[in-house]
Amino acid sequence: MFGLTREGRAIQACSDRKSVLSEGTEAGREDGKGELGMTELALYGGPKAKSTPFGEGKRFGEEELAQLREALDQNTLFYWSGRKVKQLCAEFAALHEVPYCVAVSSGTAAIHVALASLGVGVGDEVITSPITDWGTIIGILYQGAVPVFADVDPNTYNLDPSSVVAKITSRTKIIIAVHLAGNPCDMDAIMEIAKGKGIRVIEDCAQSYLAEYKGRKVGTFGDFGCFSLNDFKHISTGDGGLVITRDSELARLAALYADKYYHRSGSGRDPEWLAPNYRMTELQGAVGIAQVKKLPGICQRRHELGDRITQGISGLPGIQPHRITADSRATYWFYMLRVNEQELGTRRHHFCEALRAEGIPCSEGYIPRPVYCYDVLTKAQVLHGAGFPISAGFHAAVPAYGEGLCPVAEEVLATAVRLPVSEFFTDRDVDEMVAAIRKVASYFASRRAAAVKERGA
């Protein structure tokens, strides 16, 4: 079952894997069509479920060019002197119905700015998800704080509130809620936990533009909402990030921290505190204005297509659709299902191999392993031995990072299959994707059922 630990999966698999799981042997190829009445897999020479290219489109066009021309006509590309970054921030804040937005150089910078503005420093602990991009963690370490990883829900892949509670100590200062793949976290539970313990909340919305939890957009629940504008997100300025908040003082601090702590409207170059240069240029701001105008349509289309996949693959043997948090609206940066190898009748890598042969791009999992297994944490590695923040002697105890820390997260990554979602996909593209998944899953499950029946006889 999906909740098994790694050891449980191994024990279960050893009992009957050789006789049940298909690995594409010659015997497996022979019984595909005639004996079971199934359409032969493309992997074994059958027709592809999808033989036509996926829909494509241009992300950037005349709208972006018009904004770029205006930016160049200003005769300045500096954010404080020009109008484009200011306009981008105003429009993005209005879209989220919050008063403040600060532009930065990346989504990683957005998280770092939020952490610094909330006063995170040496000795503090920050609880977050082990299934996320490394950019979520970088700012924690640069502040000399300790990343603490809570486990995830096995169905939504987002933070499990009960695990968050178990990880809280007297040093806990922040919870970073990662809305993975466009799926909102359980924000009622997270905010209740945080409020009860006096903990601040940052929302990592890098993958979740315009996703909604109970009718409210993600990024508007915590103290900060942080977004990425890199080239692989819903919208892009090549690189860049945005930070939103309802708090005027936090907005002021965020703006200072993103710009060397220079008071552009006041004392100028006399910074009180050390801060990096995370500024956005006017060229990025210009592209961002045009992109934000397209954002509602992009997110609506991704929402429709992701839900269409779920509807099409629900009820398949050995396939668990990507479950969306209750009362939420997902905007699917990607779609991630899970496979139960025993019920499916084949191993995940072979399922993916068969799916790709049908013309459907996919990958095994999202990241290869939880971020707490990365060498930078397990070996406390920093470039050229410059020193590692959490081993600098300021912390009472450094967590034992490594395999086994969050068993559910590890199980999710070991059984997940990632599928692309694009606003340029047609309904036919997704229907053929669904047909391919159904074809492959049904093929292997039917072969498994036949093998079990034969063994029982």
The mean pLDDT of 116-144, rounded to a whole number, is 95
Q: In Å, how far from its chain's centre is CA 230?
A: 13
> Which is higher by pLDDT, 311 or 12?
311
Ramachandran angles phi, psi of 21, nearest 5°: -75, 130
What is the C-alpha to C-alpha distance for residues 121 and 322, in angstroms, rounded to an integer? 36
Q: 238-252 as b/e, with b when 16 or more CB fall inside 10 Å? A: ebbbbbbbbeeebbe
Taking a C-beta distance cutoff of 8 angstroms, is the pair 101, 220 a contact? no
Query: Residue 452 pLDDT > 80, yes or no?
Result: no
The CA-based diameter of the chain, rounded to the nearest angstrom, is 86
pLDDT tens-digit readout, 414-429: 999 999 999 999 999 9
Checking if the pLDDT of 33 tops 50, the result is no
pLDDT greater at residue 158 or residue 397: 158
Q: Is the pLDDT of residue 34 over 60?
A: no
The CATH label, of 3.90.1300.10, 3.90.1150.10, 3.40.50.300, 3.40.50.720, for the domain at 6-57+295-366+412-456 is 3.90.1150.10
Catalytic one of 233, 260, 293, 439: 233
Residues 177-209: pLDDT tens digits? 999 999 999 999 999 999 999 999 999 999 999
Describe the crossing of helices 348-357 and 427-456 by its angle, rounded to 10 degrees: 130
Residue 86 known to be catalytic? no
Cα–Cα distance list, 140 to 96, 133, 168 (Å): 26, 13, 16
439 neighbors 47 (Cβ within 8 angstroms): no
> What mean pLDDT is predicted for residues 306-316?
97
pLDDT at 288 over 80: yes
Least confident of 3-12, 380-389, 393-402, 420-429: 3-12
DSSP β-ladder status, 224-228 and 328-329? unpaired
Element housing 224 (H / E): strand 224-228
Q: What is the mean pLDDT of the chain?
A: 89
Residue 24 has pLDDT above 50, yes or no: no
CATH 3.40.640.10 residue spans of the chain: 62-293
Of 303, 296, 276, 286, give the one whose Cα is nearest residue 238.
Answer: 286
pLDDT, position 13: 37
Distance CA 176, CA 131 (A): 12
Range(s) within the chain of domains with CATH label 3.90.1150.10 = 6-57+295-366+412-456
CATH code of 62-293, in short, is 3.40.640.10
Sequence-ordered list of residues with C-beta below 8 angstroms from that of 213, at least 6 positions apart, any chain: 184, 185, 186, 187, 188, 221, 325, 327, 328
Please state, in angstroms and rounded to a whole number, the distance separating the CA atoms of residues 100 and 82: 18
Structure confidence at residue 370 (pLDDT): 98
Min mean pLDDT across 18-27, 116-125, 153-162, 435-444 is at: 18-27
Q: What is the pLDDT of residue 180?
A: 98
Burial class (CB in 10 A: 0-12, 13-18, 19+), 171: middle
Is residue 170 pLDDT above 90, yes or no? Answer: yes
- What is the Cα–Cα distance from 169 to 222, expressed in whole angstroms? 20
